[in-house]
Structure 1
Amino acid sequence: MLLEFEAMQKKVERKLKEMEKRVLFAEKQRDDALDKVKELRLQFYKTAARLEEEQGKNLKLRAQINRDYENSSIPSSKVLRRKKITNSREKTGRKPGAQPGHKGHSRKKQEPTRPAILLPPPEEVLEDCAFKKTARTIIKQLVRVRMVLDVTEYHADVYYNSQTGERVHAAFPDGVIDDVNYDGSIRAFLFLLNNDCCTSIDKSRKFLSDLTGGKLNISKGMISKLSREFALKTESERRTAYAEMLLSPVMHTDCTNARENGKNCQVYVCVTPDGKALYFAREKKGHEGVKGTVMEDYQGILVHDHDLTFYHYGANHQECLAHVLRYLKDSIDNEPERTWNKEMRSLVQEMIHFRKGFQPPQEPDLKKVSEFEKRYQKILETARKEYRDIPANDYYRDGYNLFLRMEKYMQNHLLFLHNSRVPATNNEAERLLRNYKRKQAQAVTFRSFESIDYLCQCMSMLVLMRLEESANIFDRVSKIFG
């Protein structure tokens, strides 16, 4: 019995040892599996983080690639992939041209510059006595433009005093100093071609030479000095406009980049609703650039884009909602899962349409304005909740930043609803800045900052001249040059 018990005990001990080995092996397998799961989980987290980062980078790249004039400040002229504009006109099947019942648009007849030419009757009328003259006369005009080279030569006899040795002659008219002098018409022609029509100096002088059959070949140096001469002669008129613009209750302002020998500088423009405008060339942006402009001493309402420098000047501010609409469109394109951007864009468009329905001195309906403000705030609450639930992507925060900006500067976005004199956009200033951009594109870069400064002064004067009723720009510029 004892031997059997010992044998059973040994057998049980062997099985216990085997079980312990199996338990240890199972625990080792379990630990290895847990370690592998932990490793896989870490790899998953790393992969998920990398995937999220790559998705953010892709979102950022897509946002950059898809930037155009509809969702950013890029002008339509610089868009690389131009969209095909669809023709929404319904086809009627009618032939092109004037339609029956439409009076049409006729050319305006001009005042004849020479006696009328009476055409002789046809031979068949002279040969057949049955033809009788009626009271009707058909009048048609042939209009042409001629370039005439008008040269006036002055002769002055020289008299010699045999006693004193003095020589005298008659005084020549004003402006007749050199052997060959060009009057204001020639200088005005070249000045307007170069500064207003944005043609180069070489093309301007060649065009004049071609018009005169090669008789007039003006030097490039003379043409390049015209801007400085014109700017100096019109300084008093620009000062008067400067003083008048300070009294305007509302003023638009904007700035753009300029190039001087490969370096960046700035061009500012200040515009009042009545059309007065002044350009200013500055070497730096910010407060240094504002010095000397109308903005520096202005105490009215400024309309501008979201340049924080402008908020330090003027009594109140209206941000350009055209920019806001484009930025909202960008947010819609890159954050399609959010709703606040779509609602806000629709609201801004509705407010602008409402504002166009009344003009000064008519004031807006305060009840309707209050409703707009409540809807504006409600949409901001929606945006806050959406960004709290799903935070903005680290690689694309433009939509979130726009939300914060619209919340902070709410009164500067909605000022146009409270004051009928304040426009909703800054289109006036941006439209005038395009004049400079066209010249910059033609010149590519200016050789000196003074050239940009004189150009800005000349462009200011040309804008002021066009405000005058029945003003002939060519005649006005010719008189200034003398």
Structure 2
Amino acid sequence: NYDGSIRAFLFLLNNDCCTSIDKSRVFLSDLTGGKLNISKGMISRLNREFALKTEPERRSAYADMLLSPVMHTDCTNARENGKSCQVYVCATPDGKALYFAREKKGHEGVKGTVTEDYQGILVHDHDITFYNYGADHQECLAHILRYLKASIENEPDRTWNKKMHALVQEMVHFRNGCRQPHGPDPEIVSGFEKRYREILETARKEYENIPANDYYKDGYNLFLRMEKYMHNHLLFLHDIRVPATNNEAERLLRNYKRKQAQAVTFRSFESIDYLCQCMSMLVLMRFEDPANIYDRVSRIFG
């Protein structure tokens, strides 16, 4: 009974501004002097309506993202009636992104997402599941810096963690300042790799002399991880297309976390699924025409 502009207003207020359904309807009522009193049921159904009407656009974006040479991927915890489930995000460096609601993590969670069929370079945190997909992988160095800082605080007598922290910062700074179209100078990259190996050797000797204690083993595990996955920590130095961090995916997941904090828990998994489809579409709209989100949403609702 209401035109697209009213439904778009409530839809964006509830999903994009993370305002509760009650507050959204009260605000509209106050704004219109009490003339529009929309039911909670109608507002709660807007996500489903919007998701169904925009399915072709999301399918097209899915196909386009498979062609991207690099893609970010990550997941975060969601809550459905007090139970845990997952929200995955896949994002390309040029700004396209899709959210996916999944009941489980691991391979079951990846199934049906862009990551499952992707054949390019995946940028992610150290989730071993993702190593089964894509052609190559870049670890998020923002996480590595945090882990190294924790190691410095908990293992102040060791030197490898301080040296590696400084080296990672230097490499990221160097890469961010690289303006060569074909990538960084191979000799400089080779020098970074040599220093990386030397620091790992220092770590090995330090842990042989003084083994990690039962209270804190994360530093030792980080050393083993950085040794085993050296190629995946330094891929960004060899390929100019690859970013050093997974910040793009984490930034997008914060949008969902804000909504989760407002909702606390969703009553059904279907609600999370429709929300993810709607959030995907809003990201795509901002990628295509950021100045006319409200008008476009209004036209979709008709």
Q: Does 1:358 align with 2:178?
A: yes
Query: In the alignment, is the contact (CA less than 8 A) between 1:359 and 1:420 conserved in 2?
Result: no
Name the counterpart of 1:388. 208
Q: Does 1:255 align with 2:66?
A: no
Mapping of residues 9-408 of structure 1, within 5 Å: 181-359=1-179, 361-408=181-228
**Count of equivalent residues:** 302
Query: In the alignment, is the contact (CA less than 8 A) between 1:465 and 1:471 conserved in 2?
Result: no
Q: CA deviation at 1:358?
A: 1.8
The DSSP-based 3-state class of the residue aligned with 1:317 is strand
Q: What letter matches 2:135 in structure 1?
A: A
Q: CA deviation at 1:244?
A: 0.1
Quote the Cα distance in structure 2 between the aligned partners of 1:210 and 1:361: 56
Q: Which runs of 5+ in 2 are unaligned?
A: none
Mapping of residues 448-463 of structure 1, within 5 Å: 448-463=268-283
Structure 1 runs (4+) deviating above 4 angstroms are none
Q: Find the partner of 1:410 among 230, 234, 240.
A: 230
**Cα 1:470–1:341, aligned 2, differ >3 Å: closer, same or farther?**
closer
Name the counterpart of 1:480. 300
The DSSP-based 3-state class of the residue aligned with 2:87 is strand
Q: What letter matches 2:110 in structure 1?
A: V
Quote the Cα distance in structure 2 between the aligned partners of 1:467 and 1:340: 42
Q: CA deviation at 1:192?
A: 0.3
Q: Find the partner of 1:447 among 257, 267, 271.
A: 267
Residues 140-178 of structure 1 show CA distances to partners (whole Å, capped at 9, x for unaligned) of: xxxxxxxxxxxxxxxxxxxxxxxxxxxxxxxxxxxxxxx
Give the superposed CA RMSD. 0.8
Q: Find the partner of 1:428 among 233, 248, 251.
A: 248
TM-score (norm 2): 0.99
Quote the Cα distance in structure 2 between the aligned partners of 1:332 and 1:464: 41
Q: CA deviation at 1:394?
A: 1.5
Residues 74-132 of structure 1 show CA distances to partners (whole Å, capped at 9, x for unaligned) of: xxxxxxxxxxxxxxxxxxxxxxxxxxxxxxxxxxxxxxxxxxxxxxxxxxxxxxxxxxx
Quote the Cα distance in structure 2 between the aligned partners of 1:183 and 1:361: 50
Q: What letter matches 1:398 in structure 2?
A: D
Q: CA deviation at 1:359?
A: 4.6
Q: CA deviation at 1:351?
A: 0.1
Higher relative contact order (CA 8 A, sep 6+): 2
The DSSP-based 3-state class of the residue aligned with 2:6 is helix
Q: CA deviation at 1:361?
A: 3.0
Quote the Cα distance in structure 1 between the aligned partners of 2:263 and 2:49: 20
Quote the Cα distance in structure 2 between the aligned partners of 1:197 and 1:391: 50
Quote the Cα distance in structure 2 between the aligned partners of 1:416 and 1:380: 19
Q: CA deviation at 1:363?
A: 1.2
**Cα 1:297–1:223, aligned 2, differ >3 Å: closer, same or farther?**
same
Query: In the alignment, is the contact (CA less than 8 A) between 1:360 and 1:421 conserved in 2?
Result: no
Q: What letter matches 2:63 in structure 1?
A: A
Residues 186-211 of structure 1 show CA distances to partners (whole Å, capped at 9, x for unaligned) of: 00000000010000000000000000
Residues 413-448 of structure 1 show CA distances to partners (whole Å, capped at 9, x for unaligned) of: 000000000000000000000000000000000000
The DSSP-based 3-state class of the residue aligned with 1:414 is helix
Quote the Cα distance in structure 2 between the aligned partners of 1:454 and 1:330: 38
Report percent identity of matched pairs.
86
Question: Which structure features the higher share of helix residues?
Answer: 2
Q: CA deviation at 1:469?
A: 3.6
Q: Which runs of 5+ in 1 are unaligned?
A: 1-180
Q: What letter matches 1:474 in structure 2?
A: Y
Q: What letter matches 2:194 in structure 1?
A: K
Quote the Cα distance in structure 2 between the aligned partners of 1:386 and 1:481: 63
Quote the Cα distance in structure 2 between the aligned partners of 1:445 and 1:322: 29
